[in-house]
Structure 1
Amino acid sequence: MASNTPAPEAPFDAFGGGAGPAAPDTEWNPTEGSLRAENRSGGRHRVVKQRSNFARSSTVLGVGVIAAVGAGGLATAQEKPPVAISLPDLPDMPDLGLPDAHDLPGVGALLPEENHETVAEGRANPNPLTVATYATDDERATKAERAEPVADVQAGAGDAGEALRARILQQAEQQQASADAADKAAAEKAAAEKAAAEAAAKADAAEKAAAEAKAKAAAEAKAKAEAEAKAEAAAEAERLAKLAASYSMPLSSYSLSATYMQSGSMWSSGYHTGLDFAAPTGTPLKAVHGATVKSAGWSGSYGYRIVLELSDGTEVWYCHLSSMTVSAGQTVGTGETIGRVGATGNVTGAHLHLEVHTAGGDGIDPAQWLRSKGLSL
Structure 2
Amino acid sequence: MASNKPAPEAPSRFSPDFGSGTGTDYGTFATGTAYGTEPGGDFAGGFGSEFRADGNGEPERGRDEWNPTEESVRPVRGKHRVAKQRNGLARSSTVLGVGVIAAVGAGGMATAQSKPPVSISLPDSIADNLPDAKSLPGVGSLFSEESEAEKAAAAAAAAPLTTAGLTTTEAEQGTADAGEALRARILQQAEQQQDAADAEAKAAQEKAAAEQAAAEAKKQQDAAEAKVAAEKKKAEEAAKKKAEALRLAKLAASYAIPTSSYTVTSTFGQAGSMWSSGYHTGLDFAAPTGTPIKAVHGGTIKSAGWSGSYGYRTVLELDDGTEVWFCHQSSIGVSVGQKVTTGETIGRVGATGNVTGPHLHLEVHTSDGTGIDPMAWLRGKGLNP
Q: Give the Å deviation of 1:221.
A: 2.8
Q: What is the alpha-carbon distance in structure 2 between the residues aligned to residue 151 and residue 23 of structure 1?
A: 46
Query: What are the Cα deviations for residues 81-122 of structure 1, in whole angstroms up to 9, with x where unaligned?
Result: xxxxxxxxxxxxxx9x998xxx98569xx9xxxxxxxxxxxx
Whether 1:237 and 2:245 are equivalent positions in the alignment is: yes
SS at match of 1:244: helix
Whether 1:279 and 2:287 are equivalent positions in the alignment is: yes
| Structure 2 length-normalised TM | 0.59
Query: What are the Cα deviations for residues 190-210 of structure 1, in whole angstroms up to 9, with x where unaligned?
Result: 112222222233333333333
The aligned residue for residue 195 of structure 2 is 187
Q: Is the 8 A contact 1:21 1:98 kept in 2?
A: no
Q: Is the 8 A contact 1:286 1:339 kept in 2?
A: yes
| Change in 2 beyond 3 A, CA 1:273/1:21 | farther
Q: What is the alpha-carbon distance in structure 1 between the residues aligned to residue 348 and residue 315 of structure 2?
A: 14
Q: Is the 8 A contact 1:297 1:306 kept in 2?
A: yes
| Change in 2 beyond 3 A, CA 1:322/1:134 | farther
The aligned residue for residue 249 of structure 1 is 257
* 2:276 counterpart (268, 272, 276): 268
Q: Give the Å deviation of 1:248.
A: 0.9
- 5+ residue gaps in structure 2? 13-46, 48-63, 109-160, 166-176
Q: What is the alpha-carbon distance in structure 2 between the residues aligned to residue 145 and residue 106 of structure 1?
A: 21
Q: Give the Å deviation of 1:155.
A: 5.7
| Change in 2 beyond 3 A, CA 1:283/1:161 | same
Which amino acid is the alignment partner of residue 319 of structure 1? C
* 1:223 counterpart (196, 221, 231): 231
The aligned residue for residue 341 of structure 1 is 349
Q: Report the identity percentage.
A: 53
> Which protein has the bigger helix share?
1
Which amino acid is the alignment partner of residue 261 of structure 2? S
Q: Give the Å deviation of 1:256.
A: 0.9
* 2:374 counterpart (344, 366, 372): 366
> Alpha carbon RMSD of aligned pairs, Å?
4.0
Q: What is the alpha-carbon distance in structure 2 between the residues aligned to residue 150 and residue 23 of structure 1?
A: 43
The aligned residue for residue 319 of structure 2 is 311
The aligned residue for residue 57 of structure 1 is none
Which amino acid is the alignment partner of residue 157 of structure 1? V
Q: Give the Å deviation of 1:292.
A: 0.4
Whether 1:160 and 2:74 are equivalent positions in the alignment is: no
Q: What is the alpha-carbon distance in structure 1 between the residues aligned to residue 74 and residue 341 of structure 2?
A: 167
The aligned residue for residue 293 of structure 1 is 301
Query: What are the Cα deviations for residues 139-169 of structure 1, in whole angstroms up to 9, with x where unaligned?
Result: x6x7669958989964652233212333785
- 5+ residue gaps in structure 1? 1-12, 25-44, 46-94, 111-131
| Structure 1 length-normalised TM | 0.60
The aligned residue for residue 60 of structure 1 is none
Q: Give the Å deviation of 1:245.
A: 1.6
| Change in 2 beyond 3 A, CA 1:21/1:265 | farther
Q: What is the alpha-carbon distance in structure 1 between the residues aligned to residue 347 and residue 268 of structure 2?
A: 23
